[in-house]
Amino acid sequence: MPLRVFILALSVLGILVGANGAAAGPSTTDRELIASVDPTIVAGEATQETEDQIGLNKEKRRDVQRRLTGLGFDTKVNGRFDGSTRAVITRWQAARGYPRTGFLNPLQHQALLTESASAAHAGFSGSDKSDDDRPTRRRTGAHHQHSGGGPGGLIGGVVGGLFGRR
């Protein structure tokens, strides 16, 4: 029994020493995005004319609206850049350090496409799939214990292994 306690104590100590405390702090996403903004994108102010150069038809406008919503800038997906969509574009621009015009230029449009693709890739793979596309999982009589990620899940697994969950 004392050996199990010693192993548990060492495991907990290793987790605490190895944990990256800076990563557990507040999110710096906006600051990192602003710091990584390409100056050529910021320098070119977006107008109705620059947005027209992109050639956004109704479906491409819907795509922009979906991408903005996916990044947390909720807007109605209707294919029209009305006042509410312009306000959302302005908020997205402000959060990224772009001039706040409510219009996109080609470089900002490309940045939005890249950012939303990166965000989607960073999220759960397959999160776009509907429930119908996912394989059906059947429950069996066995009970499955799911532990959370991170140090808590590891500690729970170690403790369970040490004290009789076999």
Q: Could you give the count of Cα atoms lying within 13 Å of 13 in the half-sphere of its Cβ? A: 6
How would you label 63-88 residue by residue, b for 16+ Cβ within 10 Å and e otherwise? bbbebbebbebebebebebeeebeeb
pLDDT number for residue 22: 46
pLDDT above 50 for 157: yes
Q: How many CB atoms are located within 10 Å of the residue 19 CB? A: 12
Pick from 69, 103, 68: nearest CA to 83: 103
For the stretch 38-92, pLDDT in tens is 544 445 789 999 999 999 999 999 999 999 999 999 999 999 999 999 999 999 9
Assigned fold of 45-119: Muramoyl-pentapeptide Carboxypeptidase; domain 1 (1.10.101)
User: Please, are residues 102 and 90 in contact by the beta-carbon 8 Å criterion?
Assistant: yes
Report CA-CA distances (Å) from 120 to 32, 73, 159.
18, 14, 35
For the stretch 1-19, pLDDT in tens is 677 776 777 676 666 556 5
- Which of 70-74, 136-140, 146-150: highest mean pLDDT? 70-74
Domain boundaries, the chain: 45-119
